[in-house]
Structure 1
């Protein structure tokens, strides 16, 4: 395997790691290569069970594929990627400050919100949406447990795929809370957080008033 080809595939995995899920067009624009070239790399990654595709129906036009990492990819993600992400964020912080870091995580939350909304399209009942959220988070490697309580739900995450980053940049944790509130359209309270030193993350999702 040629080094430049391997690097492109690693870049695709890194993009999916940080954005959650993306279309061929989005990956093509992000890498600056043709969609045909992107599809070749995606075919190889899908063959190796490192990514998966889900069909998203659009209001107009043909359905499109949304690509995301598999559990296998999350579990075997090379440590070098974490170091690279840490180095990139540290460099941005040193050069451009906290405001730029905030914008990066705000953009990430927006991208995830759009991807999650597509997967939860048509759901209106809060419990249905929460169960869909649990499935999405489990697919992304968070190891989620859901408990129904009198005034809502307790969502527990026993694993964090971006744990090392969240320890240094709590914007990642704040962004997840904001993501949950936006896609569920209800109040969410963060009761514990791995990024802030707790054993696992717990969110209290409150019933709509």
Structure 2
């Protein structure tokens, strides 16, 4: 099953199971079978697949009589499949901040974020070649959902491509976000970095050309 957002009527049986667990909390296989109108054996097959994909977890619950019950609930990975509106929330806050205190205050907050990220990621770069730093940066960005990859163009020139921008809504409104990201990359890589394509400005991807400093 593809990891698509479930902010719509579920399609496949596995999506229906995830939707049920989201809306009704932990359920037993029997409860799920009853609500979906299918056999418990079929439900267990789907649950097995969902557990393998780390979308569902099992909890053993003691009962006053009989054997302990096994309830199935969503993992954090599964919860991430459902709609989130963090971008709208962040955008509203930044707009209010600019309206109240002007763009300087907003840029100050972005600079603080940039500094925090630099302090957090700098230890991962210590003692590495530029090639290794680029690979490390791509891995760090992937942990945040940027779908990043990179390739070498010789020994001193590299291209980093981000195929997704989790903060594109905010970046489209405030391009200072992209400028902070560029400064961060330059500091972490200790290299000349130029952004040649930007999703927030209509590009298909975010593309950075990285050149070792002379």
TM-score, scaled relative to structure 1: 0.62
Cα RMSD of the aligned pairs, angstroms, is: 2.2
Q: 1:119 to 1:194 in 2, by over 3 A?
A: same
Runs of at least 5 residues in structure 1 that lack an aligned partner in the other structure? 1-46, 51-71
In structure 2, C-alpha distance between the alignment counterparts of 1:124 and 1:147, rounded to whole Å = 17
- 1:83 matches 2:95: no
Correspondent of 2:103 among 81, 98, 102: 98
Q: Given that residues 74 and 161 in structure 1 are in contact (C-alpha distance below 8 angstroms), is that contact kept between their aligned partners in structure 2?
A: no
Q: 1:199 to 1:116 in 2, by over 3 A?
A: same
Q: How does 1:141-160 map to 2 (within 5 A)?
A: 141-150=145-154, 151-160=156-165
Tell me, what secondary structure is at the counterpart of 1:198? coil
Runs of at least 5 residues in structure 2 that lack an aligned partner in the other structure? 1-72
Cα distance, 1:91 vs structure 2: 0.2
Correspondent of 2:124 among 119, 123, 127: 119
In structure 2, C-alpha distance between the alignment counterparts of 1:179 and 1:145, rounded to whole Å = 18
After superposition, the C-alpha distances for 1:141-163 in whole angstroms (9 at most, x for unaligned) are 10012111134100000001111
After superposition, the C-alpha distances for 1:11-62 in whole angstroms (9 at most, x for unaligned) are xxxxxxxxxxxxxxxxxxxxxxxxxxxxxxxxxxxx9754xxxxxxxxxxxx
- Name the one with the larger helix percent: 1
State the match for 1:183 in structure 2: 188
Q: Which structure is higher in RCO with an 8 Å CA cutoff and minimum separation 6? A: 1
After superposition, the C-alpha distances for 1:71-115 in whole angstroms (9 at most, x for unaligned) are x48954743322211110010011111111111111111111111
In structure 2, C-alpha distance between the alignment counterparts of 1:101 and 1:125, rounded to whole Å = 34
